[in-house]
Structure 1
Amino acid sequence: MVNVGGVKVGLIAVGEIFKKLYESGKNPEDVRDELIKEFSIYNYIPSGVQNEYATALMEEYKKYCKEKVK
Structure 2
Amino acid sequence: MTFTTDQQPYLQGFVPVQQMYLYKLSGGAVAPADTNTSLAYVTKDNVQLYLGKSRFEGSTSTEPT
- Work out whether the TM-score is over 0.5: no
The structure number with the bigger radius of gyration is 2
TM-score of the superposed pair, with normalisation by structure 2: 0.28
